[in-house]
Amino acid sequence: MAAEPVNVNEFSTLARNVLPKMIYDFYAGGAEDEWTLRENVAAFQRTRLRPRVLVDVSNVDLSTTILGFKISAPIMIAPTAMHKLAHPEGVTATARAAAAAGTIMVLSFSATSTVEEVAATCDAVRFFQLYVYKNRSISAVLAQRAERAGYKAIVLTADTPKLGRREADIRNKLVVPTLKNLEGLLSINMDTEKGSGLASYASQTLDSSFSWKDIKWLQSLTSLPILIKGILTAEDAELAIQAGFAGIIVSNHGARQLILCHQRLWLIEEVTKAVRGRVPVLFDGGIRRGTDVFKALAIGAQAVLVGRPIIYGLAVKGESGVKKVLEMLQDELELAMSLSGCCRVEEITRSHVQTENEIIRSML
């Protein structure tokens, strides 16, 4: 019998053993030569902690509030596609695990269960991820269905006017299952003769003309707050504020879109300086340890979203695997806070981390 995983990274190894190659490659892969994918993780390793000592840390509280919703720890579940490829129960198992952990899950528009099915699974706070289609009435229907089903916010993914070049999916001729939320709304031919069926789907459906001038139309569809995911610059952060977004997610789409795109860890600081506390700034990508969460919070994020590790936990152990991944990250974050002299999330500050360049300068 295989040993039980003791950290999140070990779930990735176990998932590789249980998933078909095409499916594992889909979840694990990034754009082109995957430099940015590797850099997403490596940037955390190059950022050093500056712990404080002799602080009473006998009572550490991980809880925080996002858009008025209290969660057990600043660790949310990112929108990730097609969970039933990883486990027969799919995203409903993920939703139950999120509810049990007391956190927020962002449901992917390309889920293999409908917004209504997931909402009926358990009582929890959920957000819904939205893309804008060439047929914009589809996006309107999805946003309104999510609101009727009790979702508390919409997350607009803004970095995908076209799909990034994901070479593993091209090589494997990825076949995409039916996307449950689109049944009765969209019917397309997914051509895998030239490569990825997902790329074929995206090229036929995604609206590459959607721009800042269209945000008021999007806001007219729903009374829910709308966050924007995919911001990587201070300039776009300011435009997002001016457009009335309720929150910003600093993200490079898990390194699945633009190759050699700057790793977002230190872009949190650029974005938070531009935002000046007007809306929450969240972060996703590359989180594999509780210390990674700590570093992201120290640089300015109010919470992080975790994607691939959730999928790996689901693939290996279903709902209990997702719970375990969240538990591991929370336990490691609590330990990092304790050893750094922080009793509350609000006490984690920029003074708790150093970049390599700052370390070098301090030695000169």
Cα dihedral 231, 263, 16, 335 in deg (nearest 10): -100
State the Cα–Cα distance between residues 130 and 128, nearest whole angstrom.
6
Q: Would you say 180 is a known binding-site residue?
A: no
Q: Would you say 268 is a known binding-site residue?
A: no
Q: Would you say 256 is a known binding-site residue?
A: yes
Q: Would you say 52 is a known binding-site residue?
A: no
Helix (H) or strand (E) holding 229: strand 226-231
Determine the residue type at 190. Answer: M
- Burial (CB count <10 Å: 0-12, 13-18, 19+), residue 157: buried
Q: Would you say 87 is a known binding-site residue?
A: no
Q: Would you say 81 is a known binding-site residue?
A: yes
Q: Would you say 84 is a known binding-site residue?
A: no
Residue 52 CB: number of other CB atoms within 10 A? 13
What sign results for the dihedral spanned by CA atoms 16, 19, 20, 24? Answer: negative
Q: Is 253 in the active site?
A: yes
Q: Would you say 79 is a known binding-site residue?
A: yes
State the Cα–Cα distance between residues 256 and 229, nearest whole angstrom.
14
Q: Would you say 307 is a known binding-site residue?
A: yes
Q: Which of 87, 253, 262, 352 is catalytic?
A: 253
Give the Å distances, CA to CA, from 190 to 85, 168, 175, 196, 204: 17, 17, 8, 8, 9
Beta bridge partners of 77: 105, 306
Q: Would you say 272 is a known binding-site residue?
A: no
Q: Would you say 253 is a known binding-site residue?
A: yes
Determine the residue type at 127. Answer: F
Q: Would you say 166 is a known binding-site residue?
A: yes
Q: Would you say 285 is a known binding-site residue?
A: yes
Judge whether 336 and 290 are in contact, CB under 8 Å.
yes
Tokens encoding 257: 């879109």
The residues, ordered by sequence, that sit 6+ positions from 70 with a Cβ below 8 Å of its Cβ are: 63, 64
The residues, ordered by sequence, that sit 6+ positions from 77 with a Cβ below 8 Å of its Cβ are: 94, 98, 103, 104, 105, 106, 305, 306, 307, 310, 322, 326
Judge whether 280 and 345 are in contact, CB under 8 Å.
no
State the Cα–Cα distance between residues 232 and 263, nearest whole angstrom.
9
Binding site listing for FMN = 79-81, 108, 129, 157, 229, 251, 284-288, 307-308
Q: Residues at the annotated binding site?
A: 79-81, 108, 129, 131, 157, 166, 229, 251, 253, 256, 284-288, 307-308
Output the known binding site for glyoxylate: 131, 166, 253, 256
Task: State the catalytic residues.
Answer: 253
